[in-house]
Chains A and B, each alone.
Chain A
Amino acid sequence: MTESNNKSALISAAMGLAFIAMGLLEMAAVVIDPSVEIMLYLSSGGNILLALVLLFTGVVLLNAAMRFRNGTDGEAFLVVGCMLALFVGLVVSLTLAASATEAYLFGSEDFVDWSLADDFTPAIPMMIPSLAVLLSALRSFRSTAQEPAA
């Protein structure tokens, strides 16, 4: 395994494990009371589908790590894994922004007790490393058109 592949495998594995952990916490929040202090900051209140999506993103990233080790198609899985991570982060961020608007701008009845912690999940800050890794992975895919033979 080359040094570059080794580094990519490590990054993929770290990100994958982080998403698996987030997914398990979100899943735990479904069964355990989501208002428990630790749950409040690490899950969005127990959304089972979000939990599954986080777990699945982790699986794709771990798959990338394994493929980097085997030397087959790791970049493709890393790119898609990062895209999924960004997609999940974007969905959660927009949900949080919409709830904040309801609570602070319209003062909606359903959002009287709402706080940022209610909709915050670590998937939001994870968008930053995901974007950085994605941009770096995409560099290796840049089209390099060769001069055609006349």
Chain B
Amino acid sequence: MVQEINIALIGNPNVGKTSLFNALTGSRQHVGNWPGVTVEKKTGERRHQGSTIKITDLPGTYSLEARSPDEKVANAHIMSGHPDVVVQVVDSTNMERNLYLTTQLLDMGQKVVLALNMSDMADARGDRLDLKAFSKGWGVPAVRISATRGEGLEDLLDTIISTFKDRSVPSPAVNFGAEIEGNISEVEAMLRSGGAGGTSPRWTAIRLLEGIEKVEEATADAGLRAKLTAALEGVDRDEVEMDLVDRRYVAITSLLDRTYVRGSEKRSLSDAIDRVVTHKYLGLPIFLTMMWGLFELTFTAAQPFVSAIGLGFEWLAAFVVENVQPDWLASMLGDGAIAGVGSVLVFLPNILVMFLLIALLEASGYLSRAAFIMDRIMTKMGLHGKSFIPMLLGLGCNVPAIMATRTIEDEKSRLITILSAPYISCSARLPVYVLLAGIFFPDNAGTALFLLYLLGIVVAVGSALLFRHTILKSETSPFIMELPPYRLPRLKNTILQMWDRGSMYLRKAGTFILAGAIIVWLLASLPWGVEYGSEESLVGAIGHLIEPFLAPLGFDWRIGVALVFGFIAKEIVVGSLGVLYGAVEGAGLEEAIALSMSAPSAAALMVFVLIYTPCVAALAAIRKETGSWKWTLFSVVYSLILAYIAAFIVYQVGLLIW
């Protein structure tokens, strides 16, 4: 008989949950060698031995105390009683810390299977584990696996099914001693008699005794509340909490002493590299060196491919104009669709090179170090340490960056990060930089890119600092960050990750950007009979309406139109420039822009595009994560004002220099 088994993948951050999820389901969820990659649950399924195993990948969590939004997601899913079996993914090279979560899952009465991941690395270190005795110790089956190599997965699936079929009730791993166990039993009995405590009254009792959960949250029954309050009166919550932590670690140490011997290394290369790359003075220059190389290559290494694609589109546009009838259709395809989409697609190689390099840095573990270095600087400036990880994610796209703020417990710190993350330059803005830097600063285009991304970080950190000291005053909280070991990136995973992110750009080109280009073409052609793209067309009218506001920045009416359409998606800025400047007769896009713009206005435009309002998707994410239209509107207005001021300064200073 076909049966359905619901399992949840849980574990500490960066232990390989998403790698296991991908290996089991064949998905391609984003995997990163740093904590906080998964912030919401993801689902998939796998058939095994005639059973359908439905798998939910939960955000990483060190414990089930549910303090930050992503931990709350994990805790709520387990407490919902939905999973039949909880698979805890354990980092085999760091057993002691990982098993803390196991003790909590067993307190919740969950059926647990331990997937001992990275067992190959533990073997390489010389670790020895008596698997049978280890599994028997707490009555929790354990399987050695390597998610990235796909080893041990069949064993794991067999164990999940046998655990599901096992009728025995799991027992807690830790005995907290007569006094605390007495208190737990008393509170648990009260909860059971009142029908409270959800799927695990023992776990609720523990949380009440620790003071993590309030009586009002545990039950709505006034009588039961009174009883619980009386029972908890006189209990020193802090002492209980510390005692519970101690007892859990005593139980873990006792189990590991009996079953596990840790290998030893002569000297760790990972630690040695960290001593330099996280060095007080050298850490930041090393980070800047990596970023310089990244953007230098993003521009230069991709250029031959950009040229090849550009030649292809030029040929296609000429072919369409010569061979398609009627003329309006040829114009729509040639001047609108191909000029618009082509001018964006031509930069796909730059995007792919950038994503490839970011994926390599991420998979190697270096980005965690970058976050660590920036965290030190940000904490010194009074900002929340966890803020930089979402910001780093923003290099790809601001939407996941905004969502990644769920790892931040403090609401004000989270809001500050949400509002400042969009200033980290996403890949959608890259085509604008590559186009303009290539035209106006050809010998230093890579340097220009590097400086723009650096400016993005400065604006994001500066804005966060401003918010913290003005409208969102709050204290910073300490942030303990775990540095994962360096790993040699796997080529297949790196290429897949690059392609997943790059294909998003392609999909946008075929949808938003194509639609935007055709709308701009239509506005440039209406009313019928006017010269295409002229000042008499509708687009000319819109452009002239905005032009007086943008003139102090050195922008003409065409740039104004492109910026308006860039509200939808930043890639449309280049697409619109392609349609509008393509209309300048006898010149290619680059020549047309070079004729119509100066170096100071190009520099001002790049800065404006970097800072001005987040795209529609990012705004939707801000609205969703803040739950507030007020903050969403604030984000638009603040960024527009800031962009205007910054571009004005750049243009005016540029006029003095160039």
Complex Cα distance A59/B301, Å? 27
Q: With a CB–CB cut-off of 8 A, which chain A residues contact B292?
A: 49-50, 53
Other than the given A95-B297, A141-B272, A143-B265, 9 more pairs (CB < 8 A) read A48-B447, A53-B292, A60-B282, A76-B276, A80-B273, A143-B266, A145-B124, A147-B126, A148-B263
B296 — which chain A residues lie within 8 A by C-beta? 49, 91, 95
Give residues in A with beta carbon < 8 Å to B.
45, 47-50, 53, 56-57, 59-60, 63, 73, 75-77, 79-80, 84, 87-88, 90-91, 94-95, 97-99, 101-102, 105-106, 108, 110, 138, 140-150
Q: Chain A residues with Cβ under 8 A from B325's Cβ?
A: none
Asked if A143 and B444 sit within 8 Å, CB to CB, the answer is no
Query: Which B residue sits closest to A140, measured CB to CB?
Result: B267
Contact between B276 and A77 (Cβ–Cβ < 8 Å)? Answer: yes
B interface bracket (residues with beta carbon within 8 Å of A): 35 or more
Cα–Cα, bound, A87→B263 (Å): 33
Name the residue on A nearest B442 (C-beta).
A110
B270 to chain A: closest residue by CB:
A141
Q: Is residue B277 contacting chain A, with contact meaning CB distance below 8 A?
A: yes
Main secondary structure of the interface of A (DSSP, over half): helix
CB of B285 within 8 Å of the partner chain: yes
Q: Across the interface, which residues of A come within 8 angstroms of B261, CB to CB?
A: 148-150
Asked if B263 and A94 make an inter-chain contact with CB atoms under 8 angstroms apart, the answer reads no
B264 to A141, Cβ gap below 8 A?
Answer: no
Report the nearest A residue to B269, measured CB to CB: A141
Contact residues in B for A94 (Cβ distance below 8 Å): 297, 300-301
Residues of B within 8 A of A88 (CB): 289, 293
Fill in one digit per residue for B460-499: 1 if any A CB lies within 8 Å of its CB, else 0. 0000000000000000000000000000000000000000
- CB neighbours of A59 from chain B (8 A): 282
- Asked, given contacts A94-B297, A143-B266, whether A102 binds B277 with beta carbons under 8 Å apart, the answer is no
* Of B124, B269, B307, the contact of A138 (CB 8 Å cutoff): B269
Contact A146 B126 (CB under 8 A): yes
**Across chains A and B, which 8 residue pairs bring their CB atoms closest together, nearest first?**
A145-B126, A148-B261, A76-B272, A101-B304, A141-B269, A80-B276, A95-B300, A144-B266
- Cα–Cα, bound, A84→B267 (Å): 21
Chain B residues at the A interface, C-beta cutoff of 8 Å: 124-128, 261-269, 272-273, 275-277, 282, 285-286, 289-290, 292-293, 296-297, 300-304, 307-308, 311, 442-444, 446-447, 450
Which residues of B sit under 8 angstroms from A150, Cβ to Cβ?
261
B308 contacts A144, C-beta separation under 8 Å: no
Residue of B nearest to A46 (CB): B443
User: Please, which residue of chain B has its CB at the minimum distance from the CB of A101?
Assistant: B304
Contacting A105 at CB < 8 Å: which of B126, B277, B304? B304
A-B contact pairs, 14 of them (CB 8 A): A47-B444, A49-B447, A56-B289, A79-B273, A87-B289, A88-B289, A98-B301, A99-B300, A101-B304, A102-B304, A143-B268, A145-B124, A145-B265, A147-B126
Once the chains are docked, how many angstroms separate the CA of A77 from the CA of B303? Answer: 34
Q: How many angstroms between the C-alpha atoms of A94 and B356 in the bound complex? A: 14
Q: Check A45–B443 contact: CB distance below 8 A.
A: yes
Closest Cβ of chain B: how far from A27's Cβ, in Å? 14
Contacting residues, chain A, for B443 (C-beta < 8 A): 45
Given A79-B269, A80-B277: A102 and B303 within 8 A (CB)? yes
Residues in A with CB closer than 8 Å to B304 are: 98, 101-102, 105-106
